[in-house]
């Protein structure tokens, strides 16, 4: 797969998942904050920070996880390092862009991070399986013609 296409695909998925996570956080605090007038706002800087975070988080994916010909144990180590590295990036960007200001916000962001990570891997695997099925169908069609 083209590295630029993979980077853009991952950027879109991660950015969308972060946006959904922030919306879930806003809904959670709106419903359970005890303040019926809790105000949830998103400004343009937060939107830019979401896309920027998605783009930066996509880089380790393209650099570390493209080589799938590694032994399973080495690939597992890369996935763990990938997860920790992305967690560090998201935590740093969250602090810089003020996605959270208190410990409870950081804890909630951590929970959302791991949910986003799982979501992104699930969707990525689904895309690859879908592409594999298309390729196998095309190969079967070619074989049937011969």
Phi/psi region, residue 46 (left: phi>0; alpha: psi -120 to 50; beta: rest), is alpha
Give the end-to-end CA distance of the chain in Å, rounded to a whole number: 28
What the block records as the tokens of 20 is 């959904």
Residue 37 has pLDDT above 60, yes or no: no
The pLDDT tens digits for 131-146 are 888 888 888 878 777 6
**CA distance linking residue 72 with residue 142, whole number of Å:** 32
The pLDDT score that the predictor gives to residue 56 is 92
Give the mean pLDDT of 93-111: 84
The pLDDT score that the predictor gives to residue 84 is 92
């Amino acid at each position: 797969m083209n590295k630029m296409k993979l980077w853009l695909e991952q950027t879109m998925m991660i950015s969308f998942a972060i946006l959904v996570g922030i919306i879930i956080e806003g809904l959670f605090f709106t419903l359970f904050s005890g303040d019926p007038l809790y105000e949830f706002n998103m400004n343009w800087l937060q939107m830019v920070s979401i896309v920027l975070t998605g783009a930066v988080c996509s880089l380790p994916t393209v650099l570390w996880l493209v080589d799938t010909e590694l032994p399973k144990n080495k690939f597992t180590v890369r996935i763990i390092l990938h997860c920790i590295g992305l967690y560090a990036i998201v935590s740093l960007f969250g602090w810089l862009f003020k996605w959270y200001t208190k410990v409870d916000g950081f804890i909630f962001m951590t929970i959302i991070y791991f949910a986003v990570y799982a979501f992104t891997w699930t969707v990525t695997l689904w895309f690859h399986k879908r592409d594999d099925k298309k390729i196998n169908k095309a190969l079967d069609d070619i074989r049937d013609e011969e």
